[in-house]
A and B are shown apart, each in its own frame.
Chain A
Amino acid sequence: CVDSLDDYNIDQKKAGVVTAETLYSAALKNLTDIVTTPSVNSNNLRLYVQHWTTTTYLDEPRYIMTSRTIPQAFWDALYRDVLADLKEARRIIEADQFILPNVKNNQLAQIGILEVYSWSVLVNSFGDIPYSEALDINNSLPEYEDAHTIYLDLLDRLDVALGLLNTTPAAPYTIGFGGGDLLYNGKTNPISFWVKFGNSLKLKLAMVIADIPADAARVSKAVTEATRDNGEFLMKANADNARFPYINDAPNNNPVATNTNSLFTSRQDFLPSNTIIDQMNSTSDPRRSAWFTLWVATPPEGQPAPPGVYKGGTYGQTNTPVTQFSRLSARIIAPTAEALLVDYSEVEFLLAEAVERNLIAGDAAVHYNNAITASLSYWGVAGGDITAFLAQPAVAYATAPGDWKDKIGTQKWLALFNRGYDAWVEWRRLDAPALVPPTVTNQTYIIPKRLIYPVIEQQVNGANRNAAVDKLEGGQDVAAVRLFWDAE
């Protein structure tokens, strides 16, 4: 008979028990990867906001999501590779009887903040999604739920997480995930940075739904709480940024490098779009040298080379050879380039907006200037150049064109240059700057306002997916339908 002493079903090469920390840090890495990557297979948002465009293959800048299973890659990454591991980490911590209560709370809070972040990316991309029935393999036909309801629940969950964070007594007890906290490990009192990250995220989530009259009270409460004590608990400097430190070694290098750096790929698919470069040229934006290379035209034989210029590829059109254009800078495509989940600059933009919306007192122009300053200094622009940039009539808050949404929207769209997902959320929300889809004979394109549902949902969770599609405007699963918070 089969020897019952040995259970052949025990995998001798894989762990059956792991620490919560390892799951947490893997989830954090996967979350950063999916919002950061420019891979045409999973995240084309840098294209949709016209920061980048492509040289040769035009499906992606023309918003075609079905040539590849792009929405599925985005969806699976967030649910399976981020939220499932966070949930598992939470399960392990909750079952751990020996962990110090203080540490436990901090860890649960860190998990909670990342969970809210991840859910918000899903909701802000797809709209209605599986939520309370999700992440349970015993229910592999989860029901889709209303995006708005989910969104409000996320704000509540964020409050719960923030309430668990405990920065006192001082070290060594104020640790959370310690070495597994890839965002703030190494800082003095890392939990205090999580307080800033969490509150900044809260401000951001609240502002996303600020156009919904019915949510006015909820928004006001969240903004008031997040900005309490003069913004003491918000990010106050670039040093507070939620930054993910990619390393030089594959597969943990920055995914931008994977898709653009000649160390990792021979492809030359991407280049900066003329939309952003033309905008920046008009203000001689000093960040250009941090983001792009200069393009030098080939002189007629025997003539000296003309001075270099910044020249973007025409958005959504063929741009070959790429040597005819500016390209992404070495800093952008560096394997070790850090990625940002929330940064100080965006917090200041949110504060400027909160002033304009009468949610807080203050001077919108000051916050606006702080935001731009934070962005420029993050990208290494010297103080004098910052002042000069701010002084330009097209930049200065008082004189920049349009209403506050245009002013803030345009500068925020620039500041979020290396963050396609966030730029896409803010562009849909602030409706600025005015982006124009590519002009192609006989074709009409609409810039996506959402991602369509993964194709495979039709096959494996069809009834629930169809019910969600029926609720979409027009009853079709198309990218042109606006999300619940997208007023216009």
Chain B
Amino acid sequence: QERITGRVFSAEDGGPLPGVNVVIKGTTNGTVTDAEGNYSLTAPPDGVLIFSFIGLATQEVAIGGQTSLVVNMASDSRQLSEVVVTALGIERSKNELPYSAQEVRGEDMTRNRSTNFVNSLSGRAAGVDVKTNNNMGGSTNIVIRGYKSIMNNNQALFVIDGVPVSNANTNTNNQRNGAPGVDYGNAAADINPDNIESVNILKGAAASALYGSRASNGVIMITTKKGRKNTFDIIVNSGVTWGKIDKSTFVKFQEEYGGGYVQTFSPSETYNGVERPVPNFTADASFGPKFEGQSVYNWDAFDPNHPNYHLPTTWRFAENGPEYYYETARQSNQSILLSGGNDKTTFKVGYTRSDETGVLPNSELNKNMFNFSTSFDFTEKLTVTASGNYTRVEGLGRYGTGYSSANPNQVFRQWWAGHVDMKDLRDAYFRNGQNITWNWNADRNRPIYMDNSYWTRYENFVDDTRDNYFGYVSANYKVNSWLSVMGRAAVNTTVDYQGERIAVGSNGVPKFERFDRTFSESNYDLLLSANKDLSKDLNLKAYVGGNMRRSEMNSVRASTSGGLAVPELYSLSNSRTPMTPPTEVLEKIGVDGIFASATLGYREMLFLDIAGRRDQSTTLPEDNDTFFYPSAAASFVFSKLLDAPWLTHAKVRGNYAQVGNDAPPLSIYDVYDKPAAMGSVPFFSLPNTKNNPDLKPERTNSVEVGVDADFLDGRFGFDFTWYRTSTFDQILPVTTTGAAAYTAKFVNAGEMVNKGIEVSAFVVPVRTTNFSWIANLNFTRNRNEVIELYSQGGVPVTNIPISVNGVAFQGGVTLNAAVGHPYGVIRGTNYTYHPDNGQPVVNANGYYLPTASSSEIIGDPNPSWLGGINNTLKYKNLSLSFLVDIRQGGDIFSLDMWYGDGSGVTPITAGLNDKGNPKRDRVADGGGVLLPGVNQDGTPNTTYAENYNGSGATAYGYVANGGGGAPRAAYVYDGSYVKLREAAITYTIPASLLTGLKFVKGIDVSVIGRNLWIIHKNMEYSDPEESMSSGNTAMGYQSGAYPTVRNYGFNVKFRF
């Protein structure tokens, strides 16, 4: 026996680890490390020490005659999930959990230094569908286990340390419907990734029932980093990344024909005695004259400050096309986190700053994030914890989205003229800051449709700020060994400002518009918890609690009217004509809930859960404002009964739960709209949506069963879950015929079912001292069906559009809830298929014959499955991790292609036909296009379709078929993709090299990349993941899609 002393450190941050169990293998003798991580014990020199600590990988170290052993312990994802933080911050052992909950470690989400941690969840958890938009700071759509509510919110609830926080999307309804707008992102992006210890995803109703109504969409539970007693650590991160657009997601241009709708120039003009033709500047299309080196007066010949003023130039495809416009994005990210504590106190102080510029000119996004938390043990029994967090986001020049010339992609992808040189356009703007455009109106005194793309960014920019405050105080009192009481008060407040400008000289009416919004939510919780062994084999855990939630949203949107009186002054008082009255909204919600739950555990093997909650919500009519919902669950750790050494752990589980939901605020009583008064004559008008004083709560029933198993001592394991949820009595503002006096009304009806399977698995192919390889796999398959909508006088309604206010999207397609179909199906005109041979039918002119009805189902935006493969390889101090993210299926209508093909921008519209003649020649001259298909009589199509101009004689897009347009179905694309989402190589500088640096505990140097490679996709010229916003319409439709930004850079992490 010898005396052995040593110290245990965290491999993550280098800090000493107190409380680590050190046991001599084969005995029960051991000790625990002290506050400084020191230990000391007596052991045989040939013995083995086992170091274990919850959440960290257990290590066995042979003493080998040494008397001093220093051990670094690394966290273990499997081990860490032994304890899971569940609803209300309650910690439970993974063993007893009767539902599926999947944890993602903070480390995994911060490795790539993305400032929006929500984006980093993509592919990391089964059942979670994350759609990231490509615009700077743009919103992220996050839906767990499918869309459940037909018209209301389907986004997951975000919870920090047990307290719900806002994930509001403040974008306008127009923006969300693909009309002009700006994507300001959603509030979950304000959460500091460096402050996240772990994220646990509660997917089913049973897991989240204790949060009440709002949790029916699943919960993203965030546990923040905490200080540890008797330690002091500093972590500093410093990193820079750069971003460039992925050209495979940007439009390609045909290079043979320039701007115009017809192949002739406008009448010639003469300057300095030189007569030359003039291109048609008013035409925002590329069906113009062929590039044959002609000499013309181009747009620059009419800019008095341009070197080419009144000089002819050569008609040719631009040297610098629109991709020149995209700059290199840059992001710098600096953070510091101090944490520690003494015997009674812990604290944590963090600050993260990120400065970002986007790929568009004049775009900036700055975030300052402060985090503070502390805990103090007043007595042995009473602990008080407090946390305060503040994030300030300042945006400048966030991107315009949708069908708007403020979105450069609308211009580039849909309405571009191939002769326009972007560099030249840039110079024309910067020469003296004027709106010099290629797209002059016929009078050549201002742009007709498209401002100079640089003017758009430097003059018509938006700015915004969001202050996000979140804090809580909680007190925990241990009454006795088995009973404790927790009380907590929490507040989350967001203050948004958004300012939008259109400068004097733009093509739009000059304006300044501002939106101010304050949202505040308070939560008061009281929770009584008991944990008592009733007998040797029987354990009872019980919770009884209450929650009081109050929220208030106050907003004002105001805009100048009729232009700006003085240029460059962006103030409401600068309105040219009297301002239209601002729109004010005040929404208050109060919900009181009481709940109870009990878990009976038998020999740590068999667990039975029951829970119930009763909510009273102010958004419902008083007679119907209270609703109760129960859940029941069981789990059985059957591996405890088996004596199979290959089976480390195995459990079956099943649960049933119901969750009730209340109505959106202000949907009970009728009020009037107030249009702007006409001089002194005031107007009132009935609103477009009829409220309903008889609403009752909406319900979701869910059933879930699953198996978890680990094999071969943690070398392989999986979690399998099957679930079915049915959401019924839905509170729907359904679209109605305007003939009924309103275009929407609230009803209480409808049912939607989601069924699916989720698999998350891990495999450790290699695990040696120096080399390890861990692969995590996630698979999600959700099937969704609209079972029922509502009935009117016994007549069932079988379809309602789901876009905001029921409007059809530009291009004449709609997203719909259609009975018997998956949620969100795309409707529009289809090909007419021949009844005998199933081939698309062409008409007498050789164009595809669209169906008469524009209500044909032409696409299903739901993916058939999602997958994620995450690999981590470690060799000594070097680690490589990469994430492959897969989406299979999910249809998208592309307005970009619908217009881009119709306006002659894209390559398919030019080149040679199968006879070897230019497609843009007249059919009589051997040109035109032979579309694959059959004639009405079923014989193969032999009629070449005219494709020589953009005024109705094109074979593609919106003006095909003599102006009627091609079948919309031709512009529905498969949204499948395989992406190398993230990759990181990290080198941990060995401690031996740091001996000279006394204060440094460790340095990690990482090379990181995000969205590096789209390995496979079926949609040309676009990122199939790109959408407009977050929300129910964030699928199935693209307009002015932004290209993917590839990010790469490095990060250095210091631990002190």
Contact = CB atoms under 8 A, between A and B. Distances in A.
Interface of A: 1-4, 6-16, 18-19, 22-23, 25-27, 29-30, 55-56, 58-59, 62, 64, 66-69, 72, 75-76, 79-81, 83-85, 87-88, 129-130, 134-137, 139-142, 179-180, 182, 247-252, 262-268, 298, 300-301, 317-318, 320-324, 440-443, 454-463, 476-477
Contact of A66 (B508, B621, B854): B854
Nearest to A135: B741
A23 B671 CA distance: 13
A239 B830 CA distance: 53
Contacts of B745: 137, 140
Given A266-B441, A320-B261, A22 B686 contact: no
A14 B672 contact: yes
B686 A84 contact: yes
A30 B799 CA distance: 29
B665 A9 contact: yes
Contacts of B682: 22, 25
Contacts of A318: 261-262, 951
Contact of B965 (A9, A67, A137, A321): A67
A88 B686 contact: yes
9 contacts: A72-B808, A140-B737, A140-B745, A252-B678, A322-B442, A442-B844, A455-B854, A456-B735, A458-B853
Interface string B799-829: 1110000111000101010000000000101
A266 B797 contact: no
Given A2-B618, A84-B686, A11 B441 contact: no
B799 A2 contact: no
A323 B443 contact: yes
B562 A79 contact: no
A76 B673 CA distance: 16
A68 B806 CA distance: 14
B213 to A, nearest CB: 13
Given A8-B665, A15-B674, 20 more contacts: A8-B618, A9-B667, A15-B672, A15-B684, A26-B683, A29-B678, A55-B282, A66-B829, A66-B964, A69-B812, A79-B737, A136-B741, A266-B441, A266-B447, A268-B282, A298-B269, A320-B442, A443-B962, A461-B737, A462-B798
Interface string B385-425: 00000000000000000000000000000000000000000
Query: By CB atoms of chain B within 10 A, which of A11, A29, A179 has the most?
Result: A11
Given A301-B273, A442-B946, A443-B952, A455 B740 contact: no
A7 to B, nearest CB: 8
A263 B617 CA distance: 49
A142 to B, nearest CB: 5
A11 B683 contact: no
Nearest to B552: A8
B622 A4 contact: yes
A25 B740 contact: no
Contacts of A75: 738-739
Nearest to A22: B684
B675 interface: yes
B740 A135 contact: yes
Contacts of A457: 737
A121 B791 CA distance: 30
B308 to A, nearest CB: 20
B737 to A, nearest CB: 4
Sort A-B residue pairs by CB-CB distance and give the 4 closest, nearest first.
A76-B738, A26-B683, A266-B507, A84-B741
A142 B742 CA distance: 12
Given A26-B685, A84-B741, A266-B447, A463 B795 contact: yes
B676 interface: yes
Contacts of A440: 952, 962
A79 B447 CA distance: 37
Interface stretch (B225-233, B328-336, B577-585): B577-585
Q: Is the interface of B mostly helix, strand, loop or mixed?
A: loop
A249 B681 CA distance: 13
Interface in B608-625: 616-619, 621-622, 625
Contacts of B270: 300-301
Contacts of A56: 261, 282-283
B439 to A, nearest CB: 10
Given A13-B584, A84-B742, A266-B446, A322 B282 contact: yes
Given A9-B668, A320-B282, A461 B685 contact: no
Interface residues of B, number: 109
A136 B740 contact: yes
Nearest to A324: B267
B946 A72 contact: no
Contact of A323 (B442, B684, B740, B812): B442
A481 B590 CA distance: 56
B743 A23 contact: no
B959 interface: yes
A9 B691 CA distance: 11
A455 B801 CA distance: 12
A249 B963 contact: no
B684 A23 contact: yes
Contacts of B951: 58, 317-318
A81 B685 contact: yes
Given A8-B588, A268-B282, A441-B953, A139 B792 contact: yes
B575 to A, nearest CB: 10
B449 interface: yes
A129 B679 CA distance: 35
A200 to B, nearest CB: 24
A10 B673 CA distance: 14
Contact of A29 (B584, B683, B800): B683
A460 B737 contact: yes
B676 A252 contact: yes
A266 B808 contact: no
Nearest to A77: B738
Nearest to B272: A301
B170 interface: no
A301 B270 CA distance: 7
B561 interface: yes
A320 B266 contact: yes
Given A140-B792, A320-B442, A179 B680 contact: yes
A205 to B, nearest CB: 21
A140 B800 CA distance: 13
Contacts of A13: 584-586
Nearest to B806: A456
B690 interface: yes
Contacts of A250: 509, 561-562, 577, 580
Given A8-B589, A459-B855, A83 B741 contact: yes
B837 interface: no
Given A68-B812, A69-B812, A268-B282, A460 B616 contact: no
B66 interface: no
B681 A25 contact: yes
A51 to B, nearest CB: 20
Interface string B704-748: 000000000000000000000000000000111111111101000
Nearest to A87: B741
Given A8-B619, A252-B676, A266-B507, A137 B736 contact: yes
A165 to B, nearest CB: 21
Interface in B50-71: none
Contacts of A14: 671-674
B580 A251 contact: yes
A211 to B, nearest CB: 28
A58 B950 CA distance: 10
Contact of A12 (B506, B586, B801): B586
B2 interface: no
Contacts of A251: 561, 580, 675-676
A187 B852 CA distance: 51
Contact of B855 (A179, A298, A458): A458
Query: By CB atoms of chain A within 10 A, which of B668, B740, B797 has the most?
Result: B740
Contact of B683 (A1, A22, A79, A322): A22
